[in-house]
Amino acid sequence: MQTLTVDLGDRSYPIFIGEQLLAREDLFKPYLAGKQVCIVSNETVAPLYLQSVEKALNGAQIIHVLLRDGEEYKTLTELNSIFDTLLNHRHNRTTTLIALGGGVVGDMTGFAAACYQRGVDFIQVPTTLLSQVDSSVGGKTGVNHPLGKNMIGAFHQPRCVIADTDALKTLPQREFSAGIAEVLKYGLICDLEFYHWLQLEMDGLMARDPQLLREAIYRSCVNKAKVVAADEREGGLRAILNLGHTFGHAIETAQGYGNWLHGEAVAVGMLMAADLSARLGWIKSGEVDMLRELLQRARLPIAAPKGMDVQQFLQLMAVDKKVLDGQLRLVLLREIGSAVVTTEFPLNELKACIAAAA
Amino acid sequence: MQTLTVDLGDRSYPIFIGEQLLAREDLFKPYLAGKQVCIVSNETVAPLYLQSVEKALNGAQIIHVLLRDGEEYKTLTELNSIFDTLLNHRHNRTTTLIALGGGVVGDMTGFAAACYQRGVDFIQVPTTLLSQVDSSVGGKTGVNHPLGKNMIGAFHQPRCVIADTDALKTLPQREFSAGIAEVLKYGLICDLEFYHWLQLEMDGLMARDPQLLREAIYRSCVNKAKVVAADEREGGLRAILNLGHTFGHAIETAQGYGNWLHGEAVAVGMLMAADLSARLGWIKSGEVDMLRELLQRARLPIAAPKGMDVQQFLQLMAVDKKVLDGQLRLVLLREIGSAVVTTEFPLNELKACIAAAA
């Protein structure tokens, strides 16, 4: 097991990464606020791991809520089912919520914890690669709105994160690849050495070699923790974590949540951001080609969905949270391993970049 | 105009109290985060004051949302209409929400601001006595759930509070009285001198004398600000602000939101808390009688609604947020002017106290 700490003063918390962690009482118990525990999971994950976690919580008053599986259920309405269950069982302010599942479960459970009786504790137990390297760390929680992803939410940090790499054994191939997209992101935005390591080890990673997996998750979390600690509420630096996300959100919104996976949309979005960076002369076009090849080795898409045109992209990108006072801000690559947030790009280059991907 | 500051470090904010404040550009402008402004009000208040506030915001990009008027609309569904409007008008993270109305508008606007894109700024412009002395100060925001009041919410502090006493001229008598209940509360829990002043000046206050009103609001806010500054997230001391609220919430829930006003329920709840304190020998029964008389002078109810019995009270009080790990905690009066939070009361005394009020 490897451990690292997200350094946020009195909101600091540990991340545990390794095999066979789900059943470890010693990892859960110190982070329970009281006797009441509510495990939030979904129909897919619960049959696999709920029993194991319940065993680790032996002695607590445990209830659970099973959400419907999928990004299309990341809504205020579905969120309310968590509140219904908590209130029906009279859970009070000392309850602890446990998010057992992927990013949707984590985001919704965290937001429910942020709002239930104006805030209770929660623990992240991410079971997908994407959530282990990204959404479970950093305290961003929320739900979608028909007019935009993650538009309603809160910053609410978990008490700890327990990332069991064994859970990845049952992960469908598409979801695994989607997680790799975010792993690659850390290399691109702030860790050139990690990016080179990923170029070297991609095939072993795709074969889910346990050692390589643990190293990739650990290194991703170290990078994320560093950025989050420097900018908890996304005042500046943290925005670089959104590399590819503004393009990606447009794709997800256009396709309807759940048809493209978040990581798949981000993969194409990162490639578009790299392409635009090359058009601005910041990186070499050969580096864009190498990224494209790496995404292909990770079995990720490298082009926008059929039917999306430049106008639709621009329209959907304008409502993204990264728009500040009407100005579209994008995360681009000053060089491989170094991202910047900028509004300084000619509109015609942006259009050309979209046209090339669409 | 009188000004005081709620002292919360980098979340500190001023409260402005006085006449003719709604149209004062100089009070609003310094607290806008950007050009976009969304005024949230309701069907009753907007026709009276919306135009005036819009004029004060001259130059901003203003939109507004009108909520349905009443506690029964303080729901997640109604909250969503604020998000719909903000997103339809592409308001971004630099938008400022303005709550123009009573406690329901303030709580919902504050919660919408807490959640919209994970947090934007907001300004409280309370137009009822209750909201001027209580809900607009302290950062408690939220909505109700069918199983309990304010069960879903957040702590989110406003950038400033603008309490215009002119707005109280149009306030219906019942609502005015409901506000006086919370004013009395401050005297009871932490300000004996203020309590004596209220005994002396109650008739002038009920006649809405402007000088007396401003003084009562100022003194109430000073007391509330002191308690909130000492305990922002209700870890301890702040709970004394809930004098009468656990009993009161039971009444409100039993009657259905909106039939009894919050302040009316709190009035009866405070009398019940005083009665229980007397039964424990902490205050004199003559002091309970004096409080009863004072509530009557303020035209407030002094008995629980017909049909509520001891069992129903206990049942509904058990789901209140003040229940910690199964133990019912109540705010009681150690003496007039000094409240304590305690679990130390015999159940039979509690039952006798409820029976006497019901």
What whole-number distance in Å separates Cα of residue A256 and Cα of residue A260?
Answer: 8
Q: In a 3-state reduction of DSSP, which class is residue B194? A: helix
Query: At A334, is the secondary structure helix, strand, or coil?
Result: strand
Given A118, A306, A344, A348, the catalytic residue: A118
Q: Which residues of A touch B148 (CB under 8 A)?
A: 87
User: What total of structural domains would you count in chain A?
Assistant: 2
CB of A20 within 8 Å of a chain B CB? The answer is: no
Q: Are residues B128 and B11 in the same domain?
A: yes
CATH number of the domain where residue B237 is located? 1.20.1090.10
Q: Is B258 on the interface with A (CB under 8 A)?
A: no
Going by pLDDT thresholds of 50, 70 and 90, the confidence category of residue B148 is: confident
Q: What share of chain A is helix, strand, coil (3-state, %, to 5)?
A: 50, 20, 30
Among A87, A115, A140, the residue with its CB nearest the CB of B118 is A140
Q: Cα distance from A258 to chain B (closest Cα, Å)?
A: 21
CB of A34 within 8 Å of any CB in chain B? yes
Among B151, B166, B181, the domain-final residue is B166
Among A165, A135, A132, smallest CA distance to A1 is for A165
Query: pLDDT by residue (tens digit) across A59-83?
Result: 999 999 999 998 889 999 999 999 9
For residue B120, which phi and psi values (nearest 5 degrees)?
A: -130, 170
With a cut of 70, say whether residue A323 has pLDDT above it: no
The structure tokens listed for B284 are 């004199």
Task: Quote the pLDDT of residue B319.
Answer: 64
Residue environment code for B88-124, b if the CB has 16+ CB neighbours within 10 A, otherwise e = eeebbbbbbbbbbbbbbbbbbbbbbbbbbbbbbbbbb
| B208 and B148 in a common domain | no
| Sole residue written with tokens 């003719």 | B20
Q: Is the pLDDT of residue B322 over 70?
A: no
Judge whether residue A253 has pLDDT over 60.
yes
In the predicted model, is pLDDT for residue B323 greater than 70?
no
Catalytic residue chosen out of the listed positions A91, A175, A242, A322:
A242
Shortest CA distance to A190 belongs to which of A230, A146, A240, A141?
A: A240
pLDDT score of A358: 85
pLDDT tens figures, A340-357: 999 999 999 999 999 999
Note whether B122 and B94 are within 8 A (CB). no
| CATH number of the CATH domain containing A150 | 3.40.50.1970
Do residues B270 and B188 make contact, with C-beta atoms less than 8 angstroms apart? Answer: yes
SS3 for A15-74 is EEEECCCCCCHHHHHHHCCCCEEEEEEECCCHHHHHHHHHHHCCCCEEEEEEECCCHHHC
* Contact status of B83 with chain A (Cβ, < 8 Å): yes
Give the pLDDT confidence score for residue A259 in this predicted structure.
85
Distance, in Å, from the CA atom of A155 to the CA atom of A137, rounded to the nearest integer, reads 11
Least Cα separation, residue A113 to chain B (angstroms): 10
Q: Please indicate whether, in this complex, the C-beta atoms of A34 and B325 are within 8 angstroms of each other.
A: yes
Put simply, the answer to whether A145 touches B87 (Cβ < 8 Å) is: yes
Q: What is the mean pLDDT of residues A222-250?
A: 93
When pLDDT is cut at 50, 70 and 90, the band that residue A153 belongs to is: very high
Contact B134, B161 (CB under 8 A): no
Q: Give yes or no: residues A148 and A189 share one domain.
A: no
Is A348 an 8 Å CB contact of chain B? no
B120 and B259 housed in the same domain: no
User: How would residue B110 be classed by pLDDT, with cut points 50, 70 and 90?
Assistant: very high
- As a whole number of angstroms, the distance between CA A215 and CA A45 comes to 24
User: Is B88 in contact with A147 (Cβ distance < 8 A)?
Assistant: yes
Regarding whether B209 and B132 lie in a shared domain, the answer is no
CB count, 10 Å around CB of A48? 15
Judgement on whether residues A208 and A350 belong to the same structural domain of the protein: yes
Contact: A80, B76; criterion CB under 8 Å: yes
Across the range B189-194, mean pLDDT stands at 98
> Which range is least confidently modeled, A98-102, A319-323, B70-74, B221-225?
A319-323
Residue B324 has pLDDT above 60, yes or no: no
CB A296 within 8 A of CB A327: no
Identity of the residue numbered B168 = L
Q: What is the mean pLDDT of residues A92-111?
A: 97
Which tens digits make up the pLDDT trace of B247-283? 998 998 898 766 899 899 999 999 999 999 999 999 9
Given A87, A114, A152, which is nearest B151 (Cβ)?
A: A87
Q: Which of B177, B234, B78 is nearest to A119 (CA)?
A: B234
Whole-number pLDDT of residue B5: 96
CB distance B93–A324 less than 8 Å?
Answer: yes
Q: Which residues are registered as beta bridge partners of B257?
A: B260
Assess whether pLDDT exceeds 90 at residue A325: no
Confidence check: pLDDT of B61 > 90 = yes
Of the residues B166, B186, B203, the one at which a domain ends: B166
Pair (A164, A277) in one structural domain: no
Residues B202 and B342 occupy one common structural domain: yes
What integer pLDDT is reported at residue A258 of this predicted model? 67
- List CB contacts (< 8 A) between B76 and chain A: 76, 80
Same structural domain, B132 and B52? yes
CA-to-CA distance for A264 and A268, rounded, in angstroms? 7
Instruction: Quote the tokens at residue B311.
Output: 């069992």
The rounded mean pLDDT for chain B is 94
- pLDDT bin (cut points 50, 70, 90) of residue B71 is confident
Looking at this protein, which amino acid is placed at residue A255? Q
Q: Mutation test of the interface with chain A: which of B87, B89, B94, B115, choosing the one with the most A Cβ atoms within 10 A?
A: B115
pLDDT band at A305 (very low <50, low <70, confident <90, very high): very high
Phi/psi region, residue B142 (left: phi>0; alpha: psi -120 to 50; beta: rest), is left
| Containing structural domain, residue B248 | 173-357
Question: Is A148's CB within 8 Å of B83's CB?
Answer: no
pLDDT reported for residue A71: 85
For residue B331, the SS3 value is strand
Across B13-37, average pLDDT: 96
Last residue of a domain, one of B135, B166, B197: B166
| Per-residue pLDDT at A308 | 94
- Tell me what pLDDT residue A326 has: 64
Q: What is the CA radius of gyration of chain B?
A: 20
Structure-model confidence comparison of residues A235 and A99, the more confident one: A99
Angle, vertex CA B178, rays to CA B335 and CA B80, nearest 5: 115
What pLDDT shows up at residue A123? 98
* pLDDT above 80: residue B297: yes
For β-strands B96-101 and B121-126, DSSP reports them as parallel
With a cut of 80, say whether residue A256 has pLDDT above it: no
- Per the prediction, chain A carries an average pLDDT of 94
Both A133 and A242 in a single domain?
no
Q: Are residues A77 and A188 in the same domain?
A: no
The distance of A146 to chain B (nearest Cα, Å) reads 9
And the tokens for B122?
């907001």
- CB pair distance less than 8 Å for B83 and A323: no
3 state SS of B257: strand
Beta bridge partners of A142: A153
- Same domain as B227, residue B141: no
SS3 B168: helix
Which of the four pLDDT bands, split at 50, 70 and 90, describes residue A257?
low
